[in-house]
Amino acid sequence: RAGMLCKADLTSQMVGEFPELQGHMGRLYALHHGEPAEVAQGIEDHYLPAFSGDAVPEHIVGVCTALADRLDTLVGCFGIGMTPSGSGDPQGLRRAVIGVLALLGERRASLEPLFEAAMDVFHTHAHGKDYDRWTKAQGDEFRGRDALLAELLEFARTRFKAQATRGGVSGDLVDAVLAVGEPVPVDWSARLDALVKASRSEGFLPIMHTFKRVLNITQGSDAAMPRREALVETASKELFDRSKEVAARVDTHVAALDYDGAFAAALTLAPAVSRFFDDVLVEDKDPKLRAARKGLLLGVAAIFRRLADFSRISTR
């Protein structure tokens, strides 16, 4: 109901003369006409946040209405090619997506189903196989559903990165976080905060060099994680045991959104990896041994990729 009425006050003479009263007058009109208090408050609150750092609605009706309004704007404008260019953003799309990120707050919600839901209800033809009937305005090249979703998600990532770097975070750390996992903003923030803390620790750079060596050696390989019996050297078996233990700890921390603990656990693998490289020749002449060792290292890489793409982090 709040969504249906949230723009009604824009047609009033009062808001026409005093645009800054939009939303506020909507609440008063709604109360005057007997709408429930939560509907009236949702009408006023759906304009929040009005700018970066502004307050967000306190009640769920306002949050949902504000989210729906911004998602509708983003899908509609991107769907017909009205995207920001340079410093120009007449439709306020950067502000809209920043609003979406703020509105989600601590909610562990993925952007992907939200954008998909907005696309589904945006146009009467935007359902299932008939979605292709939604063509772009002004005869531009048609943008399909998958391409539109990818563009919206990339736009959200770009704005998240812009906010983070303005706050003093290194861009390569943001890229590392955004490159893996689902598009869940609360996870982005939590993983980034934890990675920033980890990157300031004394042993972080040596660990990154070790991990990048893992990535270089396993590049292009699709070897499976080996059975322990397939490993020969003590260092290989030690790394196998430690990787199993650490993977379980990382999973537990991630499930609890404790990314500080997850990063700390993952980084404890570094000594075992270093010993493995000191004692074991990965590129063995025996193809079975070579595959087992690369599979073991790929398992190590998978643990780190639960948290970030460490290959994107500068070690200079």
Same domain, 218 and 296: yes
Same domain, 243 and 281: yes
| Distance between CA atoms of residues 93 and 73, nearest Å | 8
Q: What local confidence, expressed as pLDDT, does residue 125 receive?
A: 44
Q: According to the 3-state scheme, what is the secondary structure of the chain? A: CHHHHCCHHHHCHHHHHCHHHCCHHHHHHHHHCCCCHHHHHHHHHCCCCCCCCCCCCCCHHHHHHHHHHHHHHHHHHHHCCCCCECCECCCCHHHHHHHHHHHHCCCCCCHHHHHHHHHHHHCCCCCHHHHHHCCCHHHCCCCCHHHHHHHHHHHHHHHHHHHHHHCCCCHHHHHHHHCCCCCCHHHHHHHHHHHHHHHCCCCHHHHHHHHHHHHHHHCCCCCCCCCHHHCCCHHHHHHHHHHHHHHHHHHHHHHCCCHHHHHHHHHCCHHHHHHHHHHCCCCCCCHHHHHHHHHHHHHHHHHHHCCCCHHHCCCC
- Does 124 lie in the same domain as 81? yes
Owning domain of residue 62: 48-168
Return the pLDDT at 140: 47
Same-domain status, 217 and 153:
no
- Which of 151, 168, 185 is the last residue before a domain boundary? 168
Token pair for residue 252? 């537990």
Single pTM value for the model: 0.84
Residue where a domain stops, chosen among 149, 168, 187: 168
CATH code of residue 242 = 1.10.730.10
Which residues contact residue 156 at a Cβ distance below 8 angstroms, ignoring those fewer than 6 apart? Answer: 97, 100, 101, 111, 183, 185
Residues 6+ apart with CB under 8 A from 233: 279, 280
Q: Which residue has the tokens 């599979």?
A: 295
Q: Are residues 228 and 280 in the same domain?
A: yes
Q: Which is it for the CA torsion 101, 107, 108, 110, positive or negative?
A: negative
Q: Do 146 and 80 fall within a single domain?
A: yes
The pLDDT value recorded for residue 83 is: 86
**What mean pLDDT value characterizes the chain?**
88
Same domain membership, residue 209 and residue 158: no
Assess if residue 302 is contained within a domain: yes
Total domains in the fold of the chain = 2
User: Does residue 278 lie within any of the structural domains?
Assistant: yes
> Does 202 lie in the same domain as 164?
no
Residue 42 lies in a domain: no
Q: Are residues 162 and 269 in the same domain?
A: no
**CA–CA dist 298, 208 (Å, integer):** 16
Q: How far apart are CA 124 and CA 261, in angstroms?
A: 47
Give yes or no: residues 97 and 139 share one domain. Answer: yes
Residue 189 covered by a domain: no
- Asked whether residue 280 is domain-assigned, the answer is yes
Residue 59 lies in a domain: yes
Ramachandran class of 144: left when φ > 0, alpha when ψ lies in -120 to 50, beta otherwise: beta
Instruction: Show the low-confidence residues of the chain (pLDDT under 50).
Output: 124-131, 133-134, 136-141
pLDDT at 151: 93
**302/242 same-domain check:** yes
Specify the pLDDT at position 137. 42
Let me know whether 160 and 205 are in one domain. Answer: no
In a domain, 23, yes or no: no
CA angle 71, 73, 79 (to 5 degrees): 95
Helix axes 145-166, 171-178, angle to 10 degrees: 150
115 is a domain residue: yes
